[in-house]
Amino acid sequence: MGLIVMAAALTGCGKTQERTEDFHTELFGEHVYIFSPEDDPAQVQAVLDGIYRTQETGQFGQERYALYFLPGTYDESLQVQVGFYTQVAGLGKLPTDTKIPKLQSLARWLGNDPGNHNACCNFWRGVENLEMQSNTVWAVSQATDMRRVQVDGALYLHDDYGWASGGFLADSRITSMVDSGSQQQWLSRNNGYRMWMGENWNMVFLGDEEGGVPTGTWPGKSYTPVNETELIREKPFLFFDEKQGYQVFVPAWKTDAKGTDWESGEQPGEAISLKDFYIAKEGIDSAATLNEALKQGKHLLFTPGIYRLDEELVITRPGTIVLGMGLATLTPTQGNACLRSEGADGLILAGLLMDAGTTESETLLHLGSTTGEDAEPSLLADLYFRVGGTPTDMPAKVQSCAVIDADRVVGDNLWVWRADHGDQVAWNKNTARNGILLNGDHIRMYALMVEHFQEYQTVWNGEDGKCIMYQSEIPYDVPSPESWRSLGGTRDGFASFKVGEEVTSFEGTGIGIYLYNRDAIIPLHCAMEIPDRAGVKVHNLITVMLTGHPGMEHGINDSGMSVLQGGQTARIIDYENGLIK
């Protein structure tokens, strides 16, 4: 069942027709549901509950869903529960066009004892472009997004103070408070709220409206405010217009942005007809059909599903958009990449999960070099990478999940994960050397989260780079000290974040790096490895020894306090040119 509303609609091709279930399924596939305020609330609730029954616990499941709500006010009885691989979104031009009484993501599926609602594995889900008319629980961790929403009341980023390891909130209005509670870290970007409660380890506020941003000075408080977002383009979204049908709205680039960009009712940007998109469907499309569409100058819209690609998708046209619905997943089958660009600037890649295959790939995403000082920036939004964990006969393998050689790339909420649990997971099974390599110049990363890779998690070689809010865990499963030494075998372990030795300009702000030496006694030398020169700066870094064998000797290079016992933390205020605060 792909549609339950029965109402007149436009196809987007200038022709009105009765929108039936068959029409909808033909357009978007059977895992996209579009609801209307005129639908029977009991029938809508039954569909939502049926999907949630499978998706609540489907951490490594194969189903993908996109649940869309046409503009209007929905029955006060409706409750939307968001599980794994589920995207919930409104189809209005503004978030306030679509009003949902209640939406939540709870953490009660791991067999937790009552009162211990641990959300540390609540991954792969999102909500956007809606107004929620009540207090909202959004207990999530990495690979999740809440964007472009209005919450009429309070937003709780935890489920009854159970642990959570998220997360990301952007371009949203919360009419009351945000309570982060037990969240370990969070990036709040370009939001407005009355007050923020909670701190824990690393809370970063980028371009949020003044007034709600909490006060307090690092390291006494875990808050890092950054006044404005230097450069950002909000993620594109699907919407429905009664005259033009379905379209994709692409917001314009903003500089020095503060607060949301939709509350005035006028959002700069461009509406693109679905006629300009090739709509991909699981089980129908292949790498060949998708590459042919790209050659014809089409954008790609991936409907929910898992796409197994026997060759990489190649983007050569500047300005190409590749947008996923419902956590659409790309997996290579022949040791190829999922996506590669060749000299194309102004790209938008958003809303996709890329899974490593069982034949080792060099990388899953490669953005090739761009040239020219006037190259248009590219956006990577809600992109997630995974190595292992899914049910397979053979373990997943890749050398590095993403390689960014292009200049002027903005990353907005990335999780790059070598699985630490699930199927076929072990040091010699789901192998992956690095998480992400950033070789281009003028790259901006907001909410970059990279975990459990076998050497450096992140390698940053480009000039004039900025990373605001970084979260990382070192691998749990190192088998021996001999198997995990850097710098030609002279240093214990691999730092999480390495800035290249030739880099002269880099700035990292709100950096959290955590260590769990589960399997071997290995004293990691340092969390970050950077050149000691003016122009390479780090602000507000925290290191945490979670548990296991000791420990971590330094925060940056040879500086900073050690963390050797479970629960111990150490903080650095500023570091530049070998000098530490």
Point out the residues that are catalytic. 473
> From CA 489, how far away is CA 409, in angstroms rounded?
33
Residues in a beta bridge with 8: 18
What one-character DSSP code corresponds to residue 43? H
> From CA 431, how far away is CA 128, in angstroms rounded?
34
Question: Token pair of 559, please?
Answer: 């500086």
> From CA 485, how far away is CA 498, in angstroms rounded?
14
- Calculate ∠ Cα 312-122-128, nearest 5°: 70
Question: Token pair of 169, please?
Answer: 């909130």
> From CA 523, how far away is CA 132, in angstroms rounded?
47
Q: Which residues contact 464 (CB under 8 A, 6 or more apart)?
A: 441, 442, 505, 506
Integer angstrom CA distances of residue 143 from 157, 233, 351:
14, 19, 10
Residue pair 361/352 in contact by the 8 Å Cβ criterion: no
Q: In what order do the strands lie in the sheet with 72-73?
A: 72-73, 98-100, 131-132, 150-151, 173-174
Phi and psi torsions of 20, nearest 5°? -110, 170
Integer angstrom CA distances of residue 113 from 106, 110, 421:
14, 9, 21
Count of beta carbons in the 10 Å neighbourhood of residue 573: 13
Residue holding tokens 């990382």?
A: 472
> From CA 193, how far away is CA 212, in angstroms rounded?
5
